[in-house]
Amino acid sequence: LPPGPPGIPVAGNVLDFPQSHYGAKFAELAAKYGDLVYLELFGQPVVVVNSHDAAIDLLEKRSVNYSDRPRSVMSELTEYDDWVFVLMHYNQKWRQHRRVVVQSFQPGDALVSAQPIVTASVHDLLEGLLRTPDKFSEHLGFTLTKSTIRLVYGIQLTDPNDRFFDMASTIVQIGSEMAVPGAFLVDVIPILRFLPSWCPGAKFLRTAEAWKLQARAYRDQLFAAGKAAFDRGIVDSLIGRVFEESDNMPPSETNTPRKVDEMLRGAAAAAYGGSADTTHAAAHVFILAMALHKDVQEKAQSELDSVVGPDRLPTFADRESLPYITALVKEVLRWHVIAPIGVAHRSVADDVYAGYLIPAGTLIVPNQWAMARDETQYPDPDNFRPERFLRNGKIDPNVRDPATFAFGFGRRICPGLHFVDMALFINFASILHVFNIGPPEDENGVVSPLKAEFAETSTNSRPEAFGCTIRPRSLHAAQLVHSLAEDAR
Ligand code: HEM
């Protein structure tokens, strides 16, 4: 077995398993034991993979063996394992769900047709930031959700109080609470699931039932609204594409309207849920980094000024000419990885790697936090420096792209990664073209110090709530946003 701390009888390495800041704490174990660290939790083998090379070797090159997900009794009780394909086992059902999401989020026609939708919501964001800059977090959340719900369901969100707005976050929140290691004893001692629900100690059964009903209701309401949008003629959505495709296919056992509905209900909710908190967190990382690094902001703005000029906003057509903004997107994803320990994979058969046995059924935890801090790739890794990705004014292909680890690995890699790249690009470019972002100020204009602090769970990490100033760069820039908003009305 790979080396690791010795552990205690029965419970194994429960005391070595971090309760927070998983990436950093696993990196400390890696400094002592090496790239692969072996832990056991009540007999469950876990291998933490701390280097990019080992993650690629196992999760990509040997993906046939490493693409399953761990079993979780809580996700069975809430039925998440049945419709949230992030948690599904590696099987035919997972393949079907994943295929429809990939189809709508891969580079090509689907994402090209998404460009005007994403651009329009960014213009609304700019107007929101002009009106109430202190509500930047709400504006960012609304803008990103508005794009995804339109792309997935064809639903047009107009109001942050819309009941659909928070549904994705709630579905994700339930998933994250279930995923906290050790939060539910039933995941360690599965037989507890057979306790009667009134029994003391069986609160988890009542919690699971409530979560199941709530998540299922949201999933179904979103799907019904998406179907209604399709019936009104919105076909360029994820569900619209699948309905059209299945209408054009000969009837078969897997293509009955009931089966298509059943699959789409889950796949669409998984895509909407997968994008909600992650993209919002990445946008916060960007605002925080800009408030802390005026020099980076000025370099980005000088690129925007020379390529885009003062009389229009950036578009996707500018992308090739904006390498610094592209580097900025990469640095945001690297400087603070949103999923520090990714999502665990599970091996299906015994394997030998680098001379070590990795037993069948091992949980493989990729330490993406450590990969982002690999000093051979990213010298001075705590520093926010987009220049690290540039050489002679172009993106340097020799520097590892953070997209090769920040979105996971192999057959399970995040299907939203290309969408994230395009959405972050246009958001960052547009915000910096119009606004200056700075540290917070009190009512007398005195600058308060701003620190980069992050809240981390086992599934994601984001900046702690922070304040900042967001002001238009010029009257002309503000007028540009107002006139676009007028045109849109
Ligand atoms: C900054 C934004 C995002 C980050 C950092 C992120 C990160 C991740 C990671 C680390 C995984 C696990 C991959 C693995 O198991 O190795 C994942 C899976 C997934 N992501 Fe994302 N994601 C983001 C945005 C999105 C978006 C926009 C979508 C919408 C399509 C999405 C949908 C999913 C789904 C459905 C899965 C499950 C894939 C599977 O199990 O086959 N994510 N994501």
Q: Quick: pLDDT tens for 440-488.
A: 998 888 999 899 999 887 778 999 999 999 999 999 999 999 988 777 7
CA of 275 to the centre of ligand 1 (A): 7
CA of 197 to the centre of ligand 1 (A): 34
CB atoms closer than 10 angstroms to residue 158: 9
Residue 440 lies in a domain: yes
Q: Is the CB of 266 under 6 A from ligand 1?
A: no
- The confidence band for 191, taking pLDDT boundaries of 50, 70 and 90, is confident
Distance CA 151, CA 277 (A): 16
Residue 9 lies in a domain: no
Report the share of the chain in percent with pLDDT over 90. 77
Residue 1 lies in a domain: no
Q: Give me the amino acid identity at 313.
A: L
Total tally of structural domains belonging to the chain = 1
Residue 431 lies in a domain: yes
468 among annotated binding-site residues? no
**Phi and psi at residue 436, in whole multiples of 5°?**
-100, 135
What is the position in ligand 1's atom list of the atom closest to the CA of 423?
A: 27
Residue 367 lies in a domain: yes
* Per-residue pLDDT reduced to its tens digit, 363-377: 999 999 999 999 999
Helix, strand or coil, per DSSP, at residue 164: coil
Q: Is the pLDDT of residue 147 over 90?
A: yes
Q: Most distant CA pair in the chain: distance in Å?
A: 70
Q: Is the CB of 416 under 6 A from ligand 1?
A: yes
Rounded mean pLDDT, 213-242: 94
Distance CA 121, CA 116 (A): 9
CA of 200 to the centre of ligand 1 (A): 37
Do strands 351-353 and 356-358 pair parallel, antiparallel, or not at all (unpaired)? antiparallel
Residue 5 lies in a domain: no
Residue 7 lies in a domain: no
Residue 375 lies in a domain: yes
What is the position in ligand 1's atom list of the atom closest to the CA of 85?
A: 40
CA of 250 to the centre of ligand 1 (A): 32
Residue numbers of the domain that contains 150:
14-488
**Which one, of 249, 272, 230, lies nearest residue 101 by Cα?**
272
Residue nearest to atom 43 of ligand 1 (CA): 414
ipTM for the complex? 0.99
Q: What is the CATH number of the domain that holds 173?
A: 1.10.630.10
Residue nearest to atom 37 of ligand 1 (CA): 86
CA of 419 to the centre of ligand 1 (A): 11
Q: Is the CB of 168 under 6 A from ligand 1?
A: no
Q: Is the pLDDT of residue 287 over 90?
A: yes
